[in-house]
Structure 1
Amino acid sequence: MSQSSPSPDGGACDLESGICTIPGEDAALPQAVATPPGPKADRTRITYVTDPICSACWILEPAWRSLTQRYRDLIEVQHIYGGLLRGWRGFHDVGNGIRRPKDVAHHWDEFAERSGQPINSSVWLSDPIDSSYPPSIALAAVRLLAPEAEDAFLRRIREELFLNGRNIARPDVLEALVTELGLAVAPYRQLVENGTAQAEFERDLVRTREVGARGFPTLILEGPDGRITLHGWLGPDRLEEAFLSVSGATRRSPVASISEAMDRLSTGTSLEYAALTGQSVVVVEQLLTEAGAELHAAGHGKVWSPRSRVQEQA
């Protein structure tokens, strides 16, 4: 079996490295590049080059959420959306078996099996995504409207796609998630319709090249003790080591309480809860069950969320 599969727009998603390359970028990527220390800063700045439909970025979530939750007071995050899928028109790759959207489902299933992070690939069979540009433009709009909500919006978009199998390029899906965040739809829609959000996204496409990213995910960590660039999905320990090496921060223990983990993650996969708590998947699933967490199925994996107060009172 081939260890790499093309992304819908012609880039390749490699199962070993966990890198989805940007279209037209064929050069090999190093595992990590370290540079001399940068300016002193109170926090470590993490520039995350990503795309809302990037499966390798979804597989990074356990490590990413563990780091950003445990060290959240020491980290500032800047997202850059690099444009993984412009569209399907004219694309076919006979050699790698992808001619049309439904062919992507198998590759997502391979990523899920290899990583243990559940993926619901049904969207490619039932309501395929034509382009990752609409959700990227929506994210740019939220950034302009309420930058403090961008992180949460990106996570919810990914949950709808990778866990619920919904087409996140649809305007109605995106507007429903905007409303869920507590933001007003009218100013969001205006930013999308008048081209302001698209212009912001197009600046991100330029920034992607400026920072030297050639694939997703790319993480650029800049702290008081240095700068390091990481490519592809990686485990919680590797990401934490990289952060500690540039931040000078003292290592923190995993979240000990399952109730605190539920407060921090809310909806999360078994692998995400395991990464945050430092427990095995088997143990953390038992703890979540004992805590009364609600269990959902996604692909071949498990997803957990705290029961709502309405459910508890019923």
Structure 2
Amino acid sequence: MSAKEINYICDEMGLCCPSEPSSFYISDKKKKPLEIYMFIDPLCPECWALEPIIKKLQMEYSPYFTLRTYLGSEMRTFNKTYGPKKASQLRERARKYNETASRTGMPCDGDVWNENTLITPYTSLLAVKAAELQGKAIGSKYLRSLREALFLNKQNIADENVLIECAEKVEGMDISEFRNDLNSQSASKAFQCDVKTTKEMDVTTVPTLVFFNDDVNEPGLKVSGLYDYHIYVSIMEEMLGKKLEKCPTMSLESFLKFYTLVAAKEVSVVFDWTPEEVERQMKRLKLMQKVEKINVKNGTLWRYID
């Protein structure tokens, strides 16, 4: 997607600042008062559940913060070959995934751990960094594609062929360049930088958000785990010492047009709707033949098709 196309979409959304709702795809040269360091792991279900909250923060308060994403390393143990306990460990991981899906409402099928042996998820982490070498926008879209492959389609994202399939779904990505970068020193060094930052910040679990204001003498505020949306807004207001003003609200159709495939839970979080209201609104668009419903284990997805 060209910069011109991105600007057009943002103009259609009526956002107060031009970016992936909002500063995710277009760098804003104006310095923002807050920085948020987000530490996640593509294989972590709680990190998947954090995604709608981050979307909402970007859409409503992006003029106030810059988001920086780092890959944590909670899943390092899955790079190892397990002994006799391997099967029970995989079953426990599957149980955790399904439990997280039930608790958060984000669709997630833990059976992936029973059907695929993800012995080397390290390759999926390198893939994210390889995608980011083509820009922040491409990296963000690729991470989403990777998560959909794992959480929704139960694909083995340790498989290089699956990683390339995910790249092929990202509009604007240079597949040939991605193949070269996948096993390059550049991707490896980028990931090692993330590992170094994770250690320096003393981040031991994912997801973790670390909030910094523009006072270099002030330490960052580290928030580990998954919390309700209003908690993160309260933290930002406390750090800035004022009430935050929201960006103009975008329409549901603009939201769907921008992200293409969203979970019902994401719509619920972003627009503060009950599940029943989400269903009503989506059925209305379905009758207009603008979306299609996709039923998956532990949730519902909607794809924009207009």
Report the TM-score when normalising by structure 1: 0.76
Tell me, yes or no, if the aligned pair for 2:80 and 2:119 is still in contact at 8 Å.
no
Deviations 1:100-127, CA, capped at 9 Å, x for gaps: 4244212211111122222122311222
Rounded to whole Å, the distance in 2 between the matches of 1:92 and 1:289 is 49
Tell me, yes or no, if the aligned pair for 2:263 and 2:301 is still in contact at 8 Å.
yes
Indicate the residue corresponding to 1:268 in structure 2: 262
Segment drifting more, 229-238 vs 142-151: 142-151
Indicate the residue corresponding to 1:297 in structure 2: 295
Indicate the residue corresponding to 2:175 in structure 1: 185
* Pairing of 1:100-249 with structure 2 (within 5 A): 100-181=89-170, 182-224=172-214, 227-247=220-240, 248=242
Indicate the residue corresponding to 1:281 in structure 2: 275
Higher helix share: 2
Indicate the residue corresponding to 2:44 in structure 1: 54
Deviations 1:197-238, CA, capped at 9 Å, x for gaps: 122212211211011111000101223487422111111221
User: Residue 274 of structure 1: CA displacement?
Assistant: 0.9
User: Residue 41 of structure 1: CA displacement?
Assistant: 4.4
Task: Name the SS for the 1:42 alignment partner.
Answer: coil
Rounded to whole Å, the distance in 2 between the matches of 1:107 and 1:255 is 35
Rounded to whole Å, the distance in 2 between the matches of 1:42 and 1:253 is 15
Task: Name the SS for the 1:52 alignment partner.
Answer: coil
Q: Cα gap change, 1:42/1:291 in structure 2, threshold over 3 Å: closer, same or farther?
A: same
Rounded to whole Å, the distance in 1 between the matches of 2:147 and 2:162 is 12
Q: Cα gap change, 1:261/1:187 in structure 2, threshold over 3 Å: closer, same or farther?
A: closer
Tell me, yes or no, if the aligned pair for 1:258 and 1:291 is still in contact at 8 Å.
no
Rounded to whole Å, the distance in 2 between the matches of 1:102 and 1:254 is 45
Question: Aligned match of 2:80 in 85, 89, 97?
Answer: 89
Deviations 1:262-300, CA, capped at 9 Å, x for gaps: 234432111110111111121012101111221112212
Segment drifting more, 179-188 vs 282-291: 179-188
Q: Cα gap change, 1:269/1:89 in structure 2, threshold over 3 Å: closer, same or farther?
A: same
Rounded to whole Å, the distance in 1 between the matches of 2:52 and 2:73 is 23
Rounded to whole Å, the distance in 1 between the matches of 2:283 and 2:128 is 34
Segment drifting more, 207-216 vs 79-88: 79-88
Segments of 5+ residues of structure 2 without an aligned counterpart are 1-29
% identity of equivalent residues: 22
Higher strand share: 1
Rounded to whole Å, the distance in 1 between the matches of 2:71 and 2:95 is 25
Tell me, yes or no, if the aligned pair for 1:117 and 1:269 is still in contact at 8 Å.
yes
